[in-house]
Copies of this chain bind each other. A is one copy, B any other.
Amino acid sequence: MGSLDSNPASFDAFAADAEGFQPLNADDVRSYLHKSVDFIYDYYKSVESMPVLPGVEPGYLSRLLQSAPPSAAAPFDIAMKELREAVVPGMTHWASPNFFAFFPATNSAAAIAGELIASAMNTVGFTWQANPAATEMEVLALDWLAQLLRLPDSFIMNRTSGGRGTGGGVILGTTSEAMLVTLVAARDAALRRIGSDGVAGITRLTVYAADQTHSTFFKACRLAGFDPANIRSVPTGPETDFAVDPAKLLEVMQADVDAGLVPTYICATVGTTSSNAVDPVGAVADVAAAFNAWVHVDAAYAGSACICPEFRHHLAGVERVDSISMSPHKWLMTCLDCTCLWVRDAHRLTGSLETNPEYLKNDASDSGTVTDLKDMQVGVGRRFRGLKLWMVMRTYGAARLQEHIRSDVAMAKMFEDAVRTDDRFEVVVPRNFALVCFRIKPHGGMTEEDAERANRELMEGLNRTGKAYIAHTVIGGKFVLRFAVGSSLQEERHVRSAWELIRKKTAEIMSGDKVSV
């Protein structure tokens, strides 16, 4: 039948297994991983002394490593050597305890272990059948975390009577994806509601968020096809500590309705990236209800804090929103990537995202008794992210997780207190969590422009030392320094050193500017 093999229906003609290349040879795996663990051990022991922000120039790496791929194999030690000598010196060390920029990427021994095991098992759990354990572990981890956050039962897949409610959750890679998939679900629902023929009605749909909302929200709106002219950035100001004013939101939405437009989606943020402002979730939900608009809560960073009773009030009203996402990779000691999304009505999401190709059909999916997580995300393939999140909660328990949040907040508060006791500085907005927004304030004859220049100089000078890394933002027109506590190796002494360095640099700048300090 087209084969030259004369030995029918048998494998006798197969050659004996050659001693070929074995990419997953267990001994090699163990050896490579042990070398990697040694590297990691050394890295954690020494990262504190490395410059947080490297002093490399663009293109540095291509000058150190070969520009063409090797044709022959090389011992793994070669890759490790180049990692040490070429890669590490060009790293921005997010794991450094002297990292105070952006939001920290928190991490833990249990999370890395979970990620490692998931990488080795390397399953692709797009459907329940493709990995029942991964799907169920993800559901369980989301259920546990929802309990820690005291989310209403309506968001939780297995909590209503009969086992399955309408709620559901999924672990995604980024908040942006959580926004995108919920935007698409809301978009499709609104199009149906207005009887749009296909997407023709999309030019009437409007979306809303405070001007402090992460830029990725506005990008996600464009990705989902919303008209740029219909993406509303609601102005905020110091009178609400840069949170959205529900009255203003109502006004903007009503004006749109009066103009024949269709309010479709509102994103409320609990802990903005810029300054940790908290939009009032319940009040936003109440405004949205009048317009039948989808409300999403982005609690990427501050959601983790809400596992502590003293911070949970920031989610008050969450039972009236449609979806909420938060990222344990930001502040719940789970390495990248891990963004949890819960929706109140999973069918609204899967209705827009479901696919059913023949090659993925199986009895379990057909039975309707299982969740196929591919139908709650952009892609099909998916890593076994539930394992690391579960391992973190299983190993540390609510107590340690809360202790960790509280410790970070306490360190941030101490930093804040120190800033407040130094007349040259001001804390620009109230500190809600572990981020302190401060600046050298105009004093001793300085103008606002002088202050901006001094703060830029302070940030850049500080970052150039390699001994600390802080970032900035602009709040209410002011150039502001962001000091984010929480890197997982951080202790009080690191915060203390950074503050001393800030004081020293500030003194230098002030004397250099011939401004008395």
Give Cα A390 to B199, complex, Å. 42
Q: Evaluate contact between A29 and B112: CB separation under 8 angstroms.
A: yes
Nearest-neighbour CB distance to chain B for A499, whole angstroms, equals 6
In the bound complex, how far is the Cα of B472 from the Cα of A213, in angstroms? 45
Q: Pick the contact of A355 from B2, B216, B390 — CB < 8 Å?
A: B216
A218's partner among B82, B216, B355 (CB-CB below 8 A) is B355
Q: Mark A412-452, 1 if CB is under 8 A from B, else 0.
A: 00100110111100000000000000000000000000000
Contact: B76 with A110, CB < 8 Å? yes
A55-74 CB mask vs B (1 if < 8 Å, else 0) is 01011111001011111111
- CB-nearest residue of chain B relative to A490? B24
Task: Map CB proximity to B onto A128-148 as digits: 1 under 8 Å, 0 otherwise.
Answer: 111111101101100111011
27 A-B interface contacts by CB (under 8 A): A11-B414, A11-B499, A21-B396, A24-B107, A24-B108, A26-B45, A31-B109, A32-B109, A33-B40, A33-B116, A34-B34, A36-B116, A58-B128, A62-B140, A79-B394, A88-B133, A91-B131, A93-B123, A105-B123, A120-B335, A180-B223, A199-B202, A214-B380, A223-B223, A273-B359, A359-B471, A361-B472
Residue of A59, A117, A133, A381 contacting most chain B CB atoms (<10 Å): A381
Interface centre among A214, A329, A417 (most CB of B within 10 A): A417
Per-position 1/0 for A200-221, Cβ under 8 A of B = 1011000000000011101110
Q: Which residues of B contact A119 (CB under 8 A)?
A: 107, 111-112, 115-116, 119, 335-336
Given contacts A11-B496, A41-B29, A91-B121, contact A175 B379 (CB under 8 A): yes
A325-375 CB contacts (< 8 Å) to partner B:
327, 329, 333, 335-337, 352-353, 355-359, 361, 364, 367, 369-370
Contact status of A203 and B199, CB under 8 A, knowing A11-B414, A112-B120, A394-B74 = yes
What residues on B are CB-neighbors of A148 within 8 Å? 69
User: In this assembly, does A283 line the interface, its C-beta being within 8 Å of a C-beta of chain B?
Assistant: no
Of B132, B163, B177, which contacts A379 at CB under 8 A? B177
Interface size class of A (residues with CB under 8 A): 35 or more
Q: Contact at A21–B358, with CB atoms within 8 Å?
A: no
Residues in B whose Cβ lies below 8 Å from that of A337: 381-383
B59 and A136 contact, CB distance less than 8 A: yes
Complex CA gap A356/B148 in Å reads: 35
B421 touches A113 (CB 8 A): no
Q: Which residues of B contact A257 (CB under 8 A)?
A: none
A336–B121 Cα gap in the complex (Å)? 10
Q: Are A224 and B227 in contact (CB under 8 A)?
A: no
Given contacts A14-B414, A53-B129, 5 further A-B contacts (CB under 8 A): A20-B407, A24-B108, A40-B116, A54-B133, A187-B225
Contact of A222 among B82, B105, B114, B184 (CB under 8 A): B184
Question: Does chain B have a CB within 8 A of A453?
Answer: no
User: Do B417 and A110 touch across chains, with their CB atoms under 8 A apart?
Assistant: no
Confirm or deny: A161 has a beta carbon within 8 angstroms of a beta carbon on chain B.
no
Residues A92 and B41 in contact, CB atoms below 8 Å apart: no
Chain B CB within 10 A, most for which of A54, A113, A143, A337: A113
A23 touches B (CB below 8 Å): yes
Nearest to A23 among chain B residues (CB) is B108
Contacts of A32 in B (CB 8 A): 109-110, 112-113
B335 near A398 (CB under 8 angstroms)?
no
Report whether A379 and B144 are in contact in the complex, using a CB–CB cutoff of 8 Å. Answer: no
B-contacting residues, A234-290, CB 8 Å: 273-274
Name the distance in Å between A90's Cβ and chain B's nearest Cβ: 3
A115 to B53, CA, bound (A): 22
Q: Does A309 contact B (CB under 8 A)?
A: no
Task: Give Cα A106–Cα B123 distance, bound, in whole angstroms.
Answer: 10
* Chain B residues positioned under 8 Å from A76 (CB to CB): 109-110, 113, 395
Contact (Cβ within 8 A) A110 B79: yes
Q: How far, in angstroms, from A82 to B114 measured CA to CA in the complex?
A: 12
Assess A1 versus B91: contact at CB under 8 Å? Given A9-B503, A116-B36: no
User: B226 near A224 (CB under 8 angstroms)?
Assistant: no
Kindly report which residue of chain B lies nearest to residue A16, judged by CB atoms.
B492
Cβ-based interface call for A10 (8 A): yes
- Contact of A317 with B by CB under 8 A: no
Residue among A94, A119, A391 having the largest count of chain B Cβ atoms under 10 Å: A119
Q: Please tell me if the beta carbons of B215 and A227 are within 8 angstroms of each other in the complex.
A: no
A151 at the B interface (CB under 8 A) = no
